[in-house]
Amino acid sequence: MYLVMAAVFWGGTFVAGRQLAPLLDPYASAFLRFLLASILLLGWLYWRLRRFPRVTARQLLAVGVLGATGVFAYNLLFFAGLQSVEAGRASLIIAANPVLIALASSWLFREHLGSARGAGILLSVVGAMVVIGRGDMLGLLTGGVGAGEWLLLGCVISWVAYTLVGKGVLHGMSPLLAVCYSSVVGTLLLAVVMLWQGGIDAAVLANPEVWLYVGYLAVFGTVLAFVWFYKGVHTLGAARAGQFINIVPVSGVCLGAWLLDEPVTRSLLLGGMLVLLGLWL
């Protein structure tokens, strides 16, 4: 149940991000989400350990890379992409993450893919292309894809880098510690960009609707989703728990259709089915 709720919460981040798009620029949205999330994560870490563990120089460098890729770059691209891409379509584009991670792991860490996983990668890529091109596969080759879709593909690349760095470099750090410290690093980087862009208008911060969506993104979409996913990993193991991430694009499409009245088109259904079948394989 914890894993299902975590996946549903992650699916809801696409709806909240889409709703936040007309109210707040991507820089401020990403900063506020992770400022609040970092405060909560630091509090949780201290509550669990009664201290803030020190890290080695190598771990500190790795945490910096994690913060720059999985928090800073990913979230800037995420919020920028949601300015023009529907929540449901965005969640299916992001669903390419596990596929590219498997492909990159096979290349970098010589992990065996096998025929089933290879077929899954192919199906997921085709499904993502159907979703991104809105059913027009030739449009991918003739410039028919908008900037929002390319920004979300940048999200995927950022998350793949985040995952591979965490797998290859972070030895001796718990997932909670790595996520907490990388969140703080990413928040500091986001603060620099946000201030460079002119900061946040006080009138925007006075809007309760802004804090409703930021609060959801930070509390439910970041802290609680991670806590519950981590609990699932502890109970079932990483491999079995990871399968529940496949619920994310399903919940993203369903919530987008239900809460935002986004159309569920043929290309979305077909592409989504191919992506999910590929992920299952």
Prediction pTM value: 0.84
Smallest CA-to-CA distance from 68 within 176, 136, 203, 161 is with 161
Sole residue written with tokens 């960009």: 193
**Model pLDDT, residue 226:** 79
Torsion angles phi and psi, residue 145, rounded to 5: -95, 135
Distance CA 11, CA 71 (A): 17
**Which bin fits 4, alpha (ψ -120 to 50), beta or left (φ > 0)?**
alpha
Q: What is the pLDDT of residue 133?
A: 67
- State the pLDDT at residue 73: 95
- Three-point CA angle 162, 158, 7, nearest 5°: 75
DSSP-derived secondary structure letter, 172: S
pLDDT (0 to 100) of residue 136: 61
Residue 130: name the closest of 87, 98, 82, 92 by CA: 92
Per-residue CA distances from 73 to 3, 15, 43, 66, 113 (Å) = 26, 20, 24, 10, 28
Residues of the chain with pLDDT under 70: 109-113, 132-145, 167-171, 230, 233-234, 236-243
Specify the pLDDT at position 7: 82
Structure tokens at 155: 């999200």
271: nearest Cα among 103, 85, 135, 67: 135
Q: Give burial (CB, 10 Å; 0-12/13-18/19+) of 109.
A: exposed
Choose among 194, 171, 156, 211: nearest CA to 63: 171
3-class SS at 62?
helix
SS3 content of the chain, % helix, strand, coil (to 5): 80, 0, 20
3-state secondary structure 111-145: CCCHHHHHHHHHHHHHHHHHHHCCCCHHHHCCCCC
> Integer distance in angstroms from the first to the last C-alpha of the chain?
23
Count Cα atoms within 13 angstroms, Cβ side, for 151.
18
> pLDDT tens for residues 111-142?
666 777 778 777 777 777 777 666 665 555 45
Asked if 14 and 82 touch (Cβ cutoff 8 Å), the reply is yes
CA–CA separation, 220 vs 228, rounded Å?
10
